């Protein structure tokens, strides 16, 4: 299946780069995808986030909390899925659950820089790790294969809380604390990984909430960079994911702040 997917990618890439009759619909993803895959600055930001997570974890453990735990997102926090976005650009295809499932089934995602070191450190210190992700529960086996290939710790089913209903992670986080775990850190790339107050809200509201909780960032909330996608993008579309590519393009451009130089 991996070979078939890559052959399809190569075919679509050739078709994409030879086509001149229409404007590519996924071209807006190029800059963010290249930044993730090529920029040393992206890697540095990831290392910075996980280095800070290590310091905060060690600091929190000095108070000897009972049943210490860390909650992590997976996509763009532990696993780097930018190759899938690269496929979207090359094939000129939007995200779809079907092609995403083909990608996750490959179990081929590399790790976000810094993730492995942090996870092994936390494991060595007796901290329980919970992977709270909006990957579908059916993607669990492939996700575990992907993480096993990187020799990551704590991969038994009870450490994964995948999506079975709502994409809001509030109930899943609450289920962890209800078991008596003391959650020392939450690590993610989307603010909904920390609190539901950022879910499905306009960006003005999301920004105001970030301002009001500024003291939590770098303390209990550790944020990984992700300029490719997220709730921030959905807010630009008023969460109308059925909007056409042309409508989305118009909404993106309308949201830009620009100076007048003429």
pLDDT band with cut points at 50, 70 and 90 for residue 20? very low
**Mean pLDDT, the chain, whole residue set:** 93
- Is 13 within 8 Å of 79 (Cβ atoms)? no
pLDDT at 14: 46
* Count of structural domains, the chain: 1
The percent of residues in the chain predicted with pLDDT above 70, rounded, is: 92
Which pair of structure tokens corresponds to residue 223?
């944020």
Mean pLDDT of 156-177: 97
CATH (domain of 118):
3.40.50.1000
pLDDT score for 23: 82
Q: What is the mean pLDDT of residues 124-143?
A: 98
E strand or H helix at 160: strand 160-163
- Predicted pLDDT of residue 7: 38
Considering the domain boundaries, does residue 260 fall inside one?
no
Secondary structure tally for the chain: helices H, strands E = 11, 5
Q: pLDDT-derived band of residue 8, with 50, 70 and 90 as boundaries?
A: low
Establish if 136 belongs to a structural domain: yes
- Give how far Cα 255 sits from Cα of 29, 52, 95, 102, 247, Å: 16, 32, 21, 33, 12
Residue 261 lies in a domain: no
Please state whether 237 falls in left (phi above 0), alpha (psi between -120 and 50) or beta. Answer: alpha
The C-alpha atoms of residue 160 and residue 72 are separated, in whole angstroms, by 10
In this structure, is residue 250 part of a structural domain? yes
Helical spans, DSSP H, in 62-153: 82-91, 97-106, 115-124, 140-149
117: which 2 tokens?
């070191």
Tell me: the pLDDT tens digits for 58-72? 999 999 999 999 999
Q: Is residue 69 part of a domain?
A: yes
Residue 204 belongs to some domain of the structure: yes
Please state, in angstroms and rounded to a whole number, the distance separating the CA atoms of residues 8 and 84.
13
Domain housing 56: 2-20+29-254
In a domain, 232, yes or no: yes
Which residue from 55, 81, 48 is spatially nearest to 226, judged by alpha carbons? 81
259 in a structural domain: no
């Amino acid at each position: 299946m991996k070979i078939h997917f890559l052959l399809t990618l190569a075919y679509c890439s050739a078709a994409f780069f030879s086509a001149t009759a229409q404007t590519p619909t996924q071209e807006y993803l190029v800059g963010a995808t290249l930044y993730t895959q090529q920029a040393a600055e992206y890697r540095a930001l990831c290392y910075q986030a996980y280095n800070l997570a290590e310091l905060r974890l060690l600091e929190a453990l000095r108070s000897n909390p009972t049943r210490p735990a860390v909650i992590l997102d997976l996509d763009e926090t532990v696993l780097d899925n930018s190759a899938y976005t690269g496929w979207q650009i090359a094939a000129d295809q939007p995200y779809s659950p079907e092609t995403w499932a083909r990608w996750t089934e490959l179990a081929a995602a590399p790790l976000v820089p810094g993730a492995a070191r942090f996870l092994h450190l936390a494991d060595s210190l007796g901290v329980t790790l919970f992977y709270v992700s909006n990957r579908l529960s059916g993607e669990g086996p492939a996700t575990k294969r992907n993480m096993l290939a990187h020799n990551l710790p704590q991969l038994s089913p009870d450490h994964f809380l995948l999506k079975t209903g709502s994409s809001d992670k509030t109930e899943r986080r609450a289920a962890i604390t209800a078991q008596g775990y003391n959650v020392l850190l939450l690590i993610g790339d989307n603010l909904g990984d920390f609190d539901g107050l950022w879910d499905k809200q306009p960006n003005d509201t999301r920004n105001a909430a970030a301002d009001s909780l500024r003291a939590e960032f770098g303390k209990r909330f550790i944020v990984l960079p992700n300029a490719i996608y997220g709730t921030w993008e959905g807010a630009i579309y008023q969460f109308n994911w059925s909007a056409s590519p042309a409508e989305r393009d118009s909404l993106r451009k309308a949201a830009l702040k620009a100076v007048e130089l003429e």
